[in-house]
Amino acid sequence: MPSAGDTAPDFTVPLANGDVDSFTLSERLADEAPIVLAFFPGAFTSVCTAEMCTFEDRLSAFEDVDATVYGVSVDSPFALNEFREQNGLSFGLLSDFEKEVVDAYDVRMDFADLGVHDVAKRSVFVIDADGEVTYAWVSDDPGVEPEYAEVEDAVADIA
């Protein structure tokens, strides 16, 4: 799992942004860093919806320091576009449908008691323009949301 100071694993996945485009992390860094990758287990679930809506509500704090927020889940880009629309999300959601990103960031988990397998742990990584992870937070408890002010501070520190 990448920690602060590590090089962020690069990846290319579908981007749900109202349409479906391609997203490659290394290609976005120069124009969009710092980048916040907010991994969440699944669209249309209560805590995940609350988390993504909270990022939306606090988006101006990130935009004020020219940071870009992306949600990341293993849902299809089509489901993520519907999730964006239903929740009024203006930032893009990355579809790790092939589960390559959750593996690269070592945040894949199962909720065996619920019969749910191979989803993202709730986690947040902040990546600077050089591709370095400057902040990493990972929870083994899917009911715990990140400390949003802490994420905002981590972004402001490098912006």
pLDDT digits (tens, 9 = 90+) for 110-143: 766 656 678 899 999 999 999 999 999 999 888 8
Joined together, the tokens standing for residue 99 give: 């589960």
Q: Answer yes or no: 48 catalytic.
A: yes
Other Cβ atoms less than 10 A from the Cβ of 53: the count is: 13
Kindly report the average pLDDT of the chain as a whole number: 94
User: For 41-56, what is the mean pLDDT?
Assistant: 93
In the set 48, 72, 74, 120, the catalytic residue is 48
The predicted structure's pLDDT at residue 46: 87
148 phi and psi angles, rounded to 5 deg: -60, -40
Domains of the chain: 12-144 (3.40.30.10)
Sign of CA dihedral 29, 30, 36, 42: negative
